[in-house]
Amino acid sequence: MKIILNGSICEEQEAVVSVYDHGFLYGIGLFETFRTYNGKAFMLSEHLERLRQGCKDLWIHIELDPQAIQQQIQQLLAVNNLADAYFRLSVSAGADLLGLPSDAYETPTVILYIKPLPALDEKLYEHGRSLQLLSLRRNSPEGAGRLKSFHYMNNILAKREMASYPWATGAEGLFLNNEGVIAEGIVSNLFFIRNGKCYTPQLETGILPGITRAAVIEIAHDVKCSVEEGLYDWEELKKADEIFLTNSIQEIVPVNVLFDTEGRKFTVGDGKAGVMTRQFLRLYQWKRGSECLE
C-alpha cells in the first residue's frame, strides 16, 4: 500500500522514521482512526479537533487543516485503487535529543496510513456480538484525561488475555478500571439501556472520549432520550435490557451475550439487537449519510 509520510506519498516499505523520534523512544504521539464513505472521511473535523487538543497537551506544534487532510485521503484512495478505506492519522513527536525534553516539539512526524475496510457482516448488526469481562484493569490515563496515544500496551495485553477464553471467539473485551467500575472495551466505548434510559461510563472512569460515543450522546439528546454518564459495575450491566458498543469503524454494534472470567454466560435482552440500539444505529447512519453525501 502507498501511504503519506510528512506530506509525500510513498510505498509503505520505503517509509522511514528516525530512531531518535520521541514517538519511538518515549511513546510521545497520538493517532486517530476513521473511515470514509463515498470517499469522504466521516466526522473528520471532530477527529482532528481531538488530535489537535491532544497535541497541545503534549506540546507538539502542528497545523491540521481538514481540507488538506481530506485531499490526502482522496489521493491515497486513488493511488491504492480503493473506493473507501480505513485510515489512521498518526502524529509522532519527531526527532529530538536522547533524554526527556523540556521544550516543545516543533517538527513532528505525520503519517497517514490506509488499509482496506474489513468485510461488512450484516448479521453482526442484527444479532450482535459477545462481550467478555477482562481480569486486566484499564490503566489510569498518563495525564488529566485519556489521550488516543501510542501507549497501547494495556490494550495489547487485554487482547492477549482474550485468547485465554475459548468461549469468547469474536468477542470484544471489557475493561473495569482500578476502582472496579465499568470503563470501556479494548477498542470501543460502551452504552447500555435499562427501562428506556441510556447509560454510559463517565469520562472520569479513565475512558477515551470517543468520537462515535459523543455522536451517540448528541443523537440521544436530539430525540429526547435521557443519557446518564456515571459509575456502573458488572452486576448493573448484567441487568441491562440492551447493550451496544461504539467506535468509528464499526459504528454501533449490539451486544447479545456477556461472559465473565469463569465463562458464565448472561444473555442480554432477547439475545439480539434491541429496539433502541437499532434506532440509534439508524439515526447514526442517517447522520453519516447526510454528511458524506453533501
Average pLDDT on 173-190 reads 98
Quote the pLDDT of residue 122: 86
Mean pLDDT of 57-85: 96
Q: Which run of H or of E encompasses 201?
A: strand 197-201
Question: What is the structure's pLDDT at 291?
Answer: 82
Question: Exposure of 279 by Cβ count < 10 A (0-12 exposed, 13-18 middle, 19+ buried)?
Answer: middle
Q: Looking at residues 120-134, what average pLDDT do you find?
A: 93
Chain segment 106-124, per-residue pLDDT in tens: 999 999 999 999 888 888 9
Averaged pLDDT score across all residues of the chain:
95
**Would the pLDDT of 220 be above 60?**
yes
pLDDT for position 87:
98
Whether 294 shows a pLDDT value over 80: the answer reads: no
pLDDT by residue (tens digit) across 182-213?
999 999 999 999 999 999 999 999 999 999 99
Alpha helix stretches (DSSP H) within the chain? 22-26, 44-57, 66-79, 122-127, 153-162, 211-222, 234-238, 275-292
| CA angle (292, 220, 41) in 5-degree steps | 20
Mean pLDDT, residues 142-146 taken together: 91
**In this predicted model, what pLDDT tens digit does every residue of 27-56 receive, in sequence order?**
999 999 999 999 999 999 999 999 999 999
Instruction: Give, in order, the Cα–Cα distances in Å from 73 to each of 9, 49, 77, 122.
Output: 11, 17, 6, 26
- Does the structure show a pLDDT above 70 at 231? yes
pLDDT at 293 over 80: no
